Amino acid sequence: MKLGNLEKYNYIVIQMHDNPDADAVGAGYSMYQYFKSKRKIVRLVYGGRTKITKSNMRMLIKELGIPVEYIKDADELRLPEYDKPELLLTVDCQYGEGNVWHIDAENVAMIDHHATGRVSDDMAEIRSYIVSCSAVCYDMLRAEGYDVNANIDVATVLYYGTFMDSNEFSEIRNPLERDMIDCLHVDKKLINRITHANFTMQELETAAIAMLRFSYDENKRLSIVKSKPCDPNILGLVGDMVLQVDSVDVCIIFSECDGGYKLSIRSCEAEVAANELAAYLTADIGNGGGHTDKAGGFINQKKYEEKYEDILIDSYIFKRVEQYYDSFEVVYAKDGISDLSEYALYKKKPYIYGYVRTTDLFEAGTECRIRTYEGDVFVTADEDTYLMIGFFGEVYPIQKEAFEKKYTPLDEAFNKAFDYEPSVRSLKHDRNFGILEYAKQCRSMGSEVYARLLDKPTKVFSRWDYDTYMYGDEGDYICCSCMDLNDIYIVKKEVFEEIYEQK
């Protein structure tokens, strides 16, 4: 979506989610100023059950004079010339979601960073890989040539919104987010004051009480904490603290909140990715995600009751966590496969594939990240490391020795077209490089693998340096090279069925 395309509307209402947080205000106020600069009739509103009460939010709004309106009745949006808004733009949330008070409008657009399954189109900009909606807005404003630094208040709210949504910048991953922080000229004094007005005395007490009432599972090295209703940031704070305990590797904190329950998850256990656990706990009844070490989620009360009726939330969390630990298998490549009886022998079809020497791409020693179907993997460019380009354009690393046993290199360039051009990210250059132009052809010699259809999700800790693990779903295949029983990996169903045949 382009902001420029929304300029055809004259009466624009920007709506933040109910009980707006700093990110919603950051996104909302930057959009407000943008459309004001285009001489539109603009209003910045939110609805829902409660008016903003948090001390930091009130301070931010008051100090910057942000014209936020709390709407209780749709009539308040009626203007003499307009029955309803010509354009409703929801920020940091999506129209129709449980935490967005319903407003009628001629047209609806949204800017958000929450994963709900919706994708971007002409009227929606959804970037779930970005830590804050403020950062998404920053990028969209920049694309329109709008100078965010021309108004220090706008720069300050964008900065503060991202600061609050990223656990004080600790969850920043994307170069866009980093660039934004460097580039914004903000009111440091104000930010400093607001960031030290996060909790009230009462909230400090809530956090302390929550920490006293934890439950602990010795086998899983897991702690579950239920807190009294409080700000999500307090849940994160408690989680960070509990994870510091020497016998705790995973921590789940939850509390009631407006319209449901809020979860915060922390993990330093390689087998348990916090974002995956958050998604599992909220599946079908809310949303959850984040990073492997820190994640959060929301359970929608209505959906929860429809699905689980009168089960208490505490029992649900405990049971679901149990299920999660039972829901996947873990395979360590270094341990090999002790029992091959459930595996069958397959042969790789003699297709032509692409390959690239990492040293043709980068100077030896350059660290790079490859985004594979099964997770991110990090490799260092050297003489012994090649990259394969598979049937569907998927990229994965292979050792030179294994390559030579499995493929015959051909001297011709590999120029197959793919929907999404395979690329590799150099950590040093902090950007992606297309690899097709360096790729050459090779023919599979028909190497053999033992493979088994997965009947439950499986995590493989392969010999490669995956960010977490290779993740295989039910229906995918786990494979093991006949030449090397420690070379274990996952192959996605579609890929496997295309390129292997049973012997």
Residue 191 or 445 with smaller CB distance to Mn ion: 191
The interface region with Mn ion, picked from 141-149, 162-170, 321-329, 420-428 by CB under 5 A, is 162-170
Structure tokens at 2: 């382009």
The interface region with Mn ion, picked from 15-23, 71-79, 83-91, 149-157 by CB under 5 A, is 15-23
Measured CA to CA in angstroms, residue 185 lies from 173, 189, 276, 398, 478 at distances of 21, 12, 36, 45, 51
Structure tokens at 16: 């933040």
The whole-angstrom separation of Cα 256 and Cα 202 is 16
Residue 133 binds Mn ion, judged by CB under 5 A: yes
Residue 115 or 485 with smaller CB distance to Mn ion: 115
Q: How far is the CB of 17 from Mn ion (least distance, A)?
A: 8
Residue 162 or 462 with smaller CB distance to Mn ion: 162
Reference 470, options 487, 494, 482, 483; nearest CA is 487
Which of 86, 92, 177, 249 binds Mn ion (CB under 5 A)? It is 92
Question: Considering only residues 346-405, where is the footprint of Mn ion by CB under 5 A?
Answer: none
Q: How far is the CB of 288 from Mn ion (least distance, A)?
A: 14
SS3 of 382, please? coil
Reference 250, options 230, 224, 276, 231; nearest CA is 224
Q: How far is the CB of 27 from Mn ion (least distance, A)?
A: 7
Residue 130 binds Mn ion, judged by CB under 5 A: no
Runs of H (alpha helix) within 144-219: 152-165, 175-183, 188-195, 201-212
Q: How far is the CB of 100 from Mn ion (least distance, A)?
A: 13
> How many of the chain's residues bind Mn ion (CB under 5 A)?
4
Q: How far is the CB of 236 from Mn ion (least distance, A)?
A: 13
Residue 158 binds Mn ion, judged by CB under 5 A: no
The whole-angstrom separation of Cα 494 and Cα 421 is 18
Classify residue 133 as exposed, middle or buried by CB count within 10 Å of its CB (0-12, 13-18, 19+). Answer: buried
Residue whose pair of structure tokens reads 């490859």 in the numeric block: 370
Residue 177 binds Mn ion, judged by CB under 5 A: no
The interface region with Mn ion, picked from 68-76, 88-96, 274-282, 372-380 by CB under 5 A, is 88-96
Name the amino acid, one letter, at 53.
T
Which of 18, 23, 97, 187 binds Mn ion (CB under 5 A)? It is 23
The interface region with Mn ion, picked from 119-127, 128-136, 335-343, 424-432 by CB under 5 A, is 128-136
Residue 165 binds Mn ion, judged by CB under 5 A: yes
The interface region with Mn ion, picked from 73-81, 159-167, 413-421, 433-441 by CB under 5 A, is 159-167
The whole-angstrom separation of Cα 473 and Cα 491 is 10
Number of residue whose CB is nearest Mn ion: 23
Structure tokens at 213: 């009432």
Runs of H (alpha helix) within 184-273: 188-195, 201-212, 232-243
Measured CA to CA in angstroms, residue 472 lies from 375, 412, 441 at distances of 10, 33, 28
Q: How far is the CB of 252 from Mn ion (least distance, A)?
A: 21
Residue 23 or 276 with smaller CB distance to Mn ion: 23
Bridge partner residues of 216 (DSSP): 223
The interface region with Mn ion, picked from 19-27, 49-57, 300-308, 408-416 by CB under 5 A, is 19-27
Using CB under 5 A as the criterion, which residues of the chain lie in contact with Mn ion when the complex forms? 23, 92, 133, 165
